[in-house]
Amino acid sequence: MTIRPAAAKDQKVPTLHLRLLETTDLHVHIMPYDYGADSTLPGTGLARTAQLITQARAEAANSLLFDNGDFLQGTLIADWAAEHQPRGTNPMIVAMNTLQYAGGTLGNHEFNYGLPYLQRALQDANFPFVCANVLRAKGETSADDTTLIAPWKIIPHTSVATDGSAHEINVGILGLAPPQIEMWEKFNLSAPIVTRDIVDAARYHLPRLRAAGADIIVVLCHSGLGSGAHTTDMENAARPLAALGGIDALFTGHTHRLFPDPSLPKATDTDPVAGTLHGIPTVMAGCYGKQLGIIDLTLERRNDSWKPISHHVHLRHVDQLEDGQGDRGVMESIKPTHDAVLDHIRRPIGHTHEALHTLFAQMAPSAALALIAAAMDDAADTMLDGHDDADLPRSMAISPCKAGGRSGAHNYVSIPPGPLALRHTAELYPFPNAMCLLKLTGADVALWLETAARAFSRIQIGTQDQPLLNRDIPSYNFDVLHGLTYRIDPSRPVGKRVTDICLVDGTPLTATDRILVGTNAYRASGGGGYSVARRGQLLAPPKVPLRQIIQDYVTQQSPLTPSPSVPWSFATLPDTSALFTSARPELLPDDSQLPPGISAVGPDETGFWRYRLTFDPPT
Residues of the chain with CATH 3.60.21.10: 15-341
Q: Which CATH class is domain 348-614?
A: alpha beta
Instruction: Taking the CA atoms of 560, 374, 435 and 70 in sequence, report the sign of the dihedral they define.
Output: positive
| Secondary structure (H, E, C), 576-614 | CEEEEEECCHHHCCCCCCCCCCEEEEEECCCCCEEEEEE
How large is the average pLDDT for residues 243-248?
97
How large is the average pLDDT for residues 233-238?
97
DSSP letters, 499-544, are EEEEETTS-B--TT-EEEEEEEHHHHTTGGG-GGGGGSEEEE-S-S
d(CA 380, CA 438): 11
How large is the average pLDDT for residues 27-41?
93
**Length of the chain, please?**
619
Residues of the chain with CATH 3.90.780.10: 348-614
How large is the average pLDDT for residues 451-461?
97
Structure-derived torsion over alpha carbons of residues 227, 232, 233, 238, reported in degrees to the nearest 10: 30
Single-letter code of the amino acid located at 314: H
pTM: 0.90
Nearest to 384 by CA among 372, 396, 367: 396
DSSP letters, 137-202, are E--SSGGG-EESS-SEEEEEEEEE-TTS-EEEEEEEEEEE--TTHHHHTTTT-SS--EE--HHHHH
Give the rounded percent of residues in the chain with a pLDDT score beyond 70. Answer: 97
Instruction: Please tell me the predicted confidence (pLDDT) of residue 8.
Output: 42
Write out pLDDT tens, residues 70-124.
Answer: 999 999 999 999 999 888 899 999 999 999 999 999 999 999 999 999 999 999 9
Q: Is the pLDDT of residue 3 over 60?
A: no
Nearest to 283 by CA among 252, 312, 243, 257: 252
What is the CB neighbour count within 10 angstroms for residue 311?
A: 22
d(CA 562, CA 60): 56
For residue 13, name the pLDDT band (cuts at 50, 70, 90): confident
Instruction: Please tell me the predicted confidence (pLDDT) of residue 6.
Output: 46
Cα separation of the two ends of the chain: 60
Instruction: Please tell me the predicted confidence (pLDDT) of residue 9.
Output: 47
Write out pLDDT tens, residues 314-325.
Answer: 999 999 998 778
Fold (CATH) for 15-341: Purple Acid Phosphatase; chain A, domain 2 (3.60.21)
Instruction: Please tell me the predicted confidence (pLDDT) of residue 1.
Output: 43
What's the alpha-carbon Rg for the chain, to the nearest Å?
25
d(CA 567, CA 182): 33
Q: Is the pLDDT of residue 611 over 80?
A: yes
Instruction: Please tell me the predicted confidence (pLDDT) of residue 469.
Output: 97
Cα 306 versus chain centre, distance: 36
Strand 134-137 and strand 194-195: the pairing is antiparallel
Instruction: Please tell me the predicted confidence (pLDDT) of residue 14.
Output: 81
Please name every residue paired with 23 in a beta bridge, in sequence order, or none if there are none: 67
d(CA 102, CA 64): 6
Cα 63 versus chain centre, distance: 27
